[in-house]
Amino acid sequence: MFSIGDLSRRTGVKVPTIRYYEQMGLVAAPERSEGNQRRYSRQELERLAFIRHARDLGFAVEDIRSLIELSAHPEQPCGHADRIAEEQLISVREKIAQLKRLEAELERIATCCNGKTVGDCYVIRALSDHALCADEHG
């Protein structure tokens, strides 16, 4: 059995986040010791490691809940899990594309400035007037 502090150290998940996951129903409410301390089993440790990995990959809490539910039925086809992962991949690719647009615009405005004073600064003007941007980046 593990205390909440042990669980936190072993998984890298902060104690308040573990409590949040309990409230959200992603981690089962733990047994309590005689001193009313939370006591977690290896199963909860593994579940929390699963959640942490999924969060690191950017999955939303609801997607993680679905994946946990699916993992409880190992005999079932994995099509739904695949779709959840594919949707996350699409989302990540969209974010990457947006970040590339932001990078290009920031590089453009940072290198366009020939002013010697803030009054002549292209960066300040571009931030004040979105029309000076090369394209839509937001």
Query: Do residues 27 and 51 make contact, with C-beta atoms less than 8 angstroms apart?
Result: yes
Classify the phi-psi angles of 73: left when phi > 0, otherwise alpha if psi is within -120 to 50, otherwise beta: beta
Same domain? 66 vs 81 = no
What gap in Å lies between CA 64 and CA 58, rounded to an integer?
A: 10
Query: Do residues 114 and 122 make contact, with C-beta atoms less than 8 angstroms apart?
Result: yes
Of residues 97, 99, 77, 79, the one with CA closest to residue 87: 79
Same domain? 69 vs 8 = yes
Task: State if pTM tops 0.85.
Answer: no
Tens of pLDDT along 40-99? 889 999 999 999 999 999 999 999 999 999 998 989 999 999 999 999 999 999 999 999
Query: Do residues 86 and 79 make contact, with C-beta atoms less than 8 angstroms apart?
Result: no
Residue-number span of the structural domain to which 40 is assigned: 1-76
129: tokens are 């007037």
Read off the DSSP letter of residue 28: P
Same domain? 4 vs 70 = yes
Helices (H), 25-78: 42-56, 61-71
Last residue of a domain, one of 76, 106, 127: 76
Mean pLDDT (whole number) for 98-107:
90
Number of domains in the chain: 2
**CATH code: domain of residue 52:** 1.10.1660.10
